[in-house]
A and B are shown apart, each in its own frame.
Chain A
Amino acid sequence: MEFRRFRGTDKYLTSSALESAVNCALALERPLLVRGEPGTGKTQLAEAIASALGLRLIHWPVKSTTRAQDGLYVYDTVQRLYDSRFGDGDVKDIRRYIKHGPLGQSFASRDRVVLLIDEIDKADLEFPNDLLHELDRMRFVVTETGDEVIARERPVVVITSNAEKELPDAFLRRCVFHFIEFPERDLMARIVRVHHPDLDQKLLDQTLQAFYSLRDVDGLRKRPSTSELIDWIAVLRRAGIASVELEAGMPFLGALLKREQDLLVFAEAASRGRRPRA
């Protein structure tokens, strides 16, 4: 069995455990389910896999209204109806009105692709189970035309989900699982360096110090994550700020805490002088 190993990219840093999970999924041709707090790089992972393996990425962002069927194909009946009354096209040719969804495209593609099913937990609870059948068989039939779409090359399937949601057991058992832990300080420093290669070491140390202390403040509804840290540093640099310390008036705090309520929680913690653990 041939497969290319994944080892991260220069833009995306991985742990050895994450690489093992990706490689298990690649070698065993099973979907990879990645869970973790927001901002821990779940979505980016799929892009990194695609770019490392030189494959095209098909992104399927799941919404609360997404149905499994939408991923296979949609039959644009409204367009057909419209055409039949006002249009000119050949309404008899139903194939013209069959549009492949992301899953359908990934099966129909000539070359192997990476299919990212992003934030699967957003959809209905039954959604993952509905997907199982097609993911297992890697083929489906378009009922309206009788055409069968068969994957020539099994797509690499990456599925992301937020840590807080439950997924059905049957679905979970099919997947290779990895939980991306929130990066520890060293890894975080390296991730920040990826995005800000020429960042001053002193500012890096100070921002990390403030960031991790802030995450320790009790009672926050949404703790700041990697993307907020990266954005915060970007704003600080643009404003020419060279040094920060965690305090009530810390510059651009709003880049880290997006909820009004959290800003109040922090203000209170800071004013009580109850310094969070370092």
Chain B
Amino acid sequence: MFVPFLYELRDRGVKVGAQEALSLAQALGLGLHRGTLDGFYEVARALCVHREQDLDAFDRAFAHHFRGVPDDALALTDELLQWLEQPAGKRQLTELERQLLERIDLVEARERLRRRLAEQRERHDRGNRWVGTAGTSPHGSGGIHPTGIKVGESPGGRGALEVAAERRFRDFRSDVTLDTRQIEVALRRLRAFVREGALDELDVEATIDKTARNGGELEITMRPPRRSNLRVLLLLDVGGSMDPHAHVCERLFSAASRATHFKELRTYYFHNCIYGRVYESAALMRGIPVLQLLQDCDPSWRLIVAGDALMSPWELQSSGSRWSFGEDSGAPGIAWLAHLAQHFLHSAWLNPEPAVAWYGTAEVIRRVFPMYRLTQDGLLEAVQHLMRGGGRH
């Protein structure tokens, strides 16, 4: 009943592990859930979810799992504690967690829970006993039925199941779309600072150090200021099949142009695939030869391509005739793409289509560029990849 719920959370992408299970066991052992399903919902959510993007998955798992379950609060807790006692449960714990676990003494925790429930049965009508404190019970007058989980008893009138089923956190999901702000947040991780340029900042630490070594004779030390050192090249596909994704690309563009932490950003457009030229405008005007671009942008630039990687195979593959790099030389798209990927130490392809649609030409391009989904999660992964030391996938 209970442990499967944790697995269900995992299946839905909420990364709960032994640490969360353990905290939950402790909290339930202390009676923080007030012996109610509503309380359990609140406590489990506070301990298992760590970011608002996962709240919706939690709600769905909860609604799915506990619908129509008139179960027993004690059994719920018992089951978790037992699971943790079992070798199978323990095997998944880290050393630190195991030590912690030894400290909380499960037998004692369970015993205390039993006592509390027994006491509550006696004081049913007063209901003012709280384990470990002299405080009053949260839902005072009602008291808590010792064995039943009360559904829908929260003061606001709505039970946890209804609350969960409302799915109020849907908009925070990270696997759907992206707004400009989320893109900005992700791009903020794409940064690198170096000290370079004129010596025009006082280095206090070094000044003091040198002065001390000098026996108190002041020796001023200067250093260059810390500056952003990251340059980004953004190539956007405006091919016909990208029309449904135009708004996401627009947001990507506007977020990138607003970012203040890039030393330089250049954006160009292409249609379906890149051959020979990319363009300064989305209407494919003012072309610039790719070879010139590669001369302007050294390999330390971060290359981000956004496109669905869908085109007819002949756009990508060689016509069979002989070709060489150069404008209008007839080199196939895939050769241009590979050329770009090889030039830059760090590059990533962002694809607005779901991964299941990455077949055909997308499958080929994936072998050339590391491909990520154009979602919040995907973008973060891409940024992580672009920041990885050494470079080249």
A4-B135, A78-B208 known; A20 vs B51 contact (CB < 8 Å): no
Instruction: Say if the beta carbon of B32 comes within 8 Å of chain A.
Output: yes
In the complex, which of the residues B42, B130, B218 contacts A16, with contact meaning CB atoms closer than 8 Å?
Answer: B42
Instruction: Say if the beta carbon of A148 comes within 8 Å of chain B.
Output: no
Which one, B22-30, B276-284, B288-296, is touching chain A?
B22-30
With a cutoff of 8 Å between Cβ atoms, the chain A residues found around residue B42 in the complex are: 16-17, 20-21
Q: Contact at B181–A28, with CB atoms within 8 Å?
A: no
With a cutoff of 8 Å between Cβ atoms, the chain B residues found around residue A177 in the complex are: 46-47, 49-51
Q: Contact at B208–A16, with CB atoms within 8 Å?
A: no
Instruction: Say if the beta carbon of A69 comes within 8 Å of chain B.
Output: no
Instruction: Say if the beta carbon of B43 comes within 8 Å of chain A.
Output: yes
In the complex, which of the residues B27, B39, B45, B181 contacts A27, with contact meaning CB atoms closer than 8 Å?
Answer: B27
Q: Chain B, 180-205, contact with A by CB distance < 8 Å: what is the 0/1 string?
A: 01100110110000000000000011
Q: Chain A, 44-63, contact with B by CB distance < 8 Å: what is the 0/1 string?
A: 00000000000000000000
Within 8 A of A (CB), among B1-58: 19, 23, 26-27, 30, 32-33, 38-39, 41-43, 45-47, 49-52, 55
Q: Contact at B30–A1, with CB atoms within 8 Å?
A: yes
With a cutoff of 8 Å between Cβ atoms, the chain B residues found around residue A176 in the complex are: 46-47
Q: Contact at A164–B55, with CB atoms within 8 Å?
A: no
Question: From A186, which residue of chain B is reached at the shortest CB distance?
Answer: B156
Q: Contact at A165–B39, with CB atoms within 8 Å?
A: no
In the complex, which of the residues B47, B133, B216 contacts A2, with contact meaning CB atoms closer than 8 Å?
Answer: B133
With a cutoff of 8 Å between Cβ atoms, the chain A residues found around residue B135 in the complex are: 4-5
A21-B42, A27-B32, A77-B205 known; A16 vs B51 contact (CB < 8 Å): no
In the complex, which of the residues A5, A15, A125, A173 contacts B133, with contact meaning CB atoms closer than 8 Å?
Answer: A5
- Tell me, in angstroms, the Cα distance from A92 to B133 when the chains sit together: 49
Taking the closest CB of chain B, its distance from the CB of A214, in whole angstroms, is 19
Q: Contact at A1–B132, with CB atoms within 8 Å?
A: yes
Question: From B17, which residue of chain A is reached at the shortest CB distance?
Answer: A173
In the complex, which of the residues A2, A16, A166, A167 contacts B132, with contact meaning CB atoms closer than 8 Å?
Answer: A2
Instruction: Say if the beta carbon of B154 comes within 8 Å of chain A.
Output: yes
With a cutoff of 8 Å between Cβ atoms, the chain A residues found around residue B316 in the complex are: none
Taking the closest CB of chain B, its distance from the CB of A33, in whole angstroms, is 8
With a cutoff of 8 Å between Cβ atoms, the chain B residues found around residue A166 in the complex are: 185-186, 189, 380
Instruction: Say if the beta carbon of A242 comes within 8 Å of chain B.
Output: no
Q: Chain B, 200-215, contact with A by CB distance < 8 Å: what is the 0/1 string?
A: 0000110010011000
A166-B380, A173-B50, A176-B47 known; A81 vs B185 contact (CB < 8 Å): no
Within 8 A of B (CB), among A7-28: 7, 15-17, 19-21, 23-25, 27-28
- Tell me, in angstroms, the Cα distance from A181 to B45 when the chains sit together: 14
- Tell me, in angstroms, the Cα distance from A148 to B119 when the chains sit together: 45
Question: From A163, which residue of chain B is reached at the shortest CB distance?
Answer: B52
- Tell me, in angstroms, the Cα distance from A38 to B284 when the chains sit together: 41
- Tell me, in angstroms, the Cα distance from A125 to B387 when the chains sit together: 14
- Tell me, in angstroms, the Cα distance from A7 to B155 when the chains sit together: 13
Taking the closest CB of chain A, its distance from the CB of B160, in whole angstroms, is 9
Q: Contact at A85–B216, with CB atoms within 8 Å?
A: yes
Within 8 A of B (CB), among A144-203: 163-167, 169, 172-173, 175-179, 181
Question: From B46, which residue of chain A is reached at the shortest CB distance?
Answer: A21
Q: Contact at A178–B46, with CB atoms within 8 Å?
A: yes
Instruction: Say if the beta carbon of B152 comes within 8 Å of chain A.
Output: no
With a cutoff of 8 Å between Cβ atoms, the chain B residues found around residue A179 in the complex are: 52, 55, 169
Q: Contact at B23–A78, with CB atoms within 8 Å?
A: no
Instruction: Say if the beta carbon of A243 comes within 8 Å of chain B.
Output: no
With a cutoff of 8 Å between Cβ atoms, the chain B residues found around residue A77 in the complex are: 204-205, 208
Q: Contact at A175–B52, with CB atoms within 8 Å?
A: no
- Tell me, in angstroms, the Cα distance from A150 to B43 when the chains sit together: 30
Q: Chain B, 149-170, contact with A by CB distance < 8 Å: what is the 0/1 string?
A: 0000011100000000000110
In the complex, which of the residues A19, A30, A84, A125 contacts B189, with contact meaning CB atoms closer than 8 Å?
Answer: A125
Q: Contact at A20–B204, with CB atoms within 8 Å?
A: no
With a cutoff of 8 Å between Cβ atoms, the chain A residues found around residue B154 in the complex are: 16
- Tell me, in angstroms, the Cα distance from A15 to B138 when the chains sit together: 12
With a cutoff of 8 Å between Cβ atoms, the chain B residues found around residue A178 in the complex are: 46
Q: Contact at A172–B51, with CB atoms within 8 Å?
A: yes
- Tell me, in angstroms, the Cα distance from A27 to B185 when the chains sit together: 33
Taking the closest CB of chain A, its distance from the CB of B96, in whole angstroms, is 10
Instruction: Say if the beta carbon of A35 comes within 8 Å of chain B.
Output: yes
With a cutoff of 8 Å between Cβ atoms, the chain A residues found around residue B185 in the complex are: 164-166
With a cutoff of 8 Å between Cβ atoms, the chain A residues found around residue B45 in the complex are: 17
- Tell me, in angstroms, the Cα distance from A166 to B204 when the chains sit together: 32
With a cutoff of 8 Å between Cβ atoms, the chain B residues found around residue A16 in the complex are: 38, 42, 138, 154-156
- Tell me, in angstroms, the Cα distance from A28 to B22 when the chains sit together: 11
- Tell me, in angstroms, the Cα distance from A16 to B41 when the chains sit together: 11
Pick 6 A–B contacts, CB within 8 A, sort by A.
A5-B135, A27-B132, A28-B23, A85-B218, A125-B188, A176-B47
Q: Please list the 10 inter-chain residue pairs (A to B) with the smallest Cβ-Cβ separation, ordered nearest first.
A: A20-B42, A172-B50, A21-B46, A5-B135, A17-B42, A179-B52, A77-B208, A24-B46, A176-B46, A177-B50
Chain A residues proximal to chain B, CB less than 8 Å = 1-5, 7, 15-17, 19-21, 23-25, 27-28, 30, 33, 35, 77-78, 81, 84-85, 125, 163-167, 169, 172-173, 175-179, 181
Other A-B pairs, 4, CB within 8 Å; known A16-B154, A35-B52: A20-B42, A24-B23, A165-B185, A166-B186
